[in-house]
Amino acid sequence: MYRTIGATYLDNNVGQFTVWSPLRKQVNLQIVFPEKRLIKLEKQERGYWQATVDNVTSETHYLYELDGEVLRPDPASHFQPNGVHEASQVVAHNEFNWQDQGWENINLEDLIIYELHVGTFTPEGTFEAIIDRLPDLKDLGVNIIELMPVGQFPGERNWGYDGAYWFAVQNSYGGPEELKKLVNACHQQGIGVILDVIYNHFGPEGNYIRDFAPYFTEKYKTPWGSAINYDDSYSDGVRNFVIQNALYWLDYYHIDGLRLDAIHAIYDFGAKHILKELAEVVDQLSKKKNRKFYLIAESDLNDAKIIDQSEQGGYEIDAQWSDDFHHCLHTLLTQENKGYYQDFTELKSLAKVLKEGFAYSWDYSEFRQRYHGNSASHCPPYQFVVCNQNHDQVGNRMLGERLSQLVSFEQLKIAAGLTLLSPYIPLLFMGEEYGEDAPFLYFIDHGDPDLVKAVREGRKQEFKAFHEVGEPPDAASVETFRKSTLNWQKRKEEKHKTLYQFYQTLIKLRRQIPALAYRKDRNLEVEVNPKGNLLVITRYQKDNQIICLVNFDFNAISYEFNPSQKNWEKQLDSSEEKWLGKGSTLPTKLSQSSTLEIPACSLSLYETK
């Protein structure tokens, strides 16, 4: 049913070239380096063209000739060494010396994800440079990194969502060999790797895929134009393209999981949704390789069907993002209420997210002007990924401000605590662990002047709609890109160092305290204190219990503590001087009912056994 596509190196200088182009009368392979050759491909069933070719090496560059009219790179190119407009290159994947044979993936409920952008994570902006920083990430306590998209995009700098070649590893990052070295090094140090993939659109520049086949349909529209064809005529070839891409990353690059970008822009009304098919195929690979590969969906649908089991009518994706968590937390801390933030201004919304996964589960949304979402309260907590900032929520602000630039140091500690002490899978955005204050801006390096102009105008209109004052930074400027690079030395300076240690402590508590470490079901209760902006979270596992007191208010709040058990011991208090707070007013130990004065803008944690 499924067909391998692209250029497959078969050993002994033999390569097999397969491309899907059902409407073309003739497709030829043109070898352009090291010597020019034209090879006729044989047409096979359902529009696939193929040839097995001698004298092929990892140095072979090639193009496809379509009906004798145009020369195009391979839609399933594994490498574009000279960019999106030039020839594709064969990659001999079987020649890489993997040294991660003993690697087993990390349990889903134990994941602590660290999202990073390869180009701005280090000054060098390469896969190789990340390897030198892995000990720092391990010291922090994260156990899996999430790479923003690495598919070939135009130029040398981009977020990655303008990728025109889904299989080709970005040349300016180091290409296929260096990505494998990074994954190999991660596994050797006990760190997994998730890759952000985009199955809802292709980038606009270097996108020649329409010349090959009906990859798009006019039945639906997305923010990027015509939707990818998952359910119209010839959709079987498109679905195969996606399935092969997912297997390619997991098998050839030993990637541990895929983050599926904006699945709400994937339109498929066929009897079997492409996400369901993808989950089935990845599950088969997991069984074949005897280790679990994960699929994690970014979705704003608030639909439990994405992660539900088949017998419940679900797609069986392993986990999905809960944007509601971020929106609630961000709104409570910043008091911003424009756009979608208007739906998340009340503390009770955050309480509902902590209890159920979503704030909107078929509730009326003022922003959407309709009812939204369904209940996910039956889903285990480890099926949700939450964060207090990420590339979208930071980078889609006009000035790219991180949370560290929007709220106080005390509030940053609240954001960290709620994210890492929640029952969900936490995602940290690179640099947040030490309060990075460099922005993360939107940047591009398109070669098409008209496209650059369109991006500039589009950004202006986007922020005009949000009533932003001023001009957005020029996305095409190299300086905009450079401003977004992390300042690694700051993690050893003043408040930055203290915040980093606070994150380390939170991660240790998450793992060491049984009530926090148990995340297989919703072992928690959440109370919104009527006296003010105080959230009281109780979690338990057998005889172990914790209570987390979070005061969002700028004033202290009194709380009547009536313990059902005795001998409570304080494990964390963000207001203590060791965390650069103003000094704690909370007792170290509690053994009876008492009135507590919860410091302003603070998070504290008590444990009993």
- The residues that are catalytic are 261, 298
Task: Give the amino acid at 587.
Answer: P
Displacement of CA 59 from its chain's centroid (Å): 33
- Rounded to whole angstroms, the Cα distance separating 355 from 373 reads 15
- Rounded to whole angstroms, the Cα distance separating 87 from 281 reads 31
Strands in 281-395 per DSSP E: 294-297, 319-321, 363-365, 370-372, 384-386
Binding residues for substrate: 259-264, 323-327, 391-396
CA angle 106, 169, 390 (to 5 degrees): 55
Residues 6+ apart with CB under 8 A from 454: none
Phi, psi of 306, deg, nearest 5: -60, -40
- Rounded to whole angstroms, the Cα distance separating 53 from 55 reads 7
The two beta strands, 192-197 and 216-222, are unpaired
Phi, psi of 573, deg, nearest 5: -150, 105
Cβ(85)–Cβ(109) below 8 Å:
no
CA quadruple 164, 165, 166, 168: dihedral, nearest 10 = -140
- Rounded to whole angstroms, the Cα distance separating 144 from 503 reads 16
Phi, psi of 365, deg, nearest 5: -105, 120
- The DSSP 8-state label assigned to residue 416 in this structure reads H
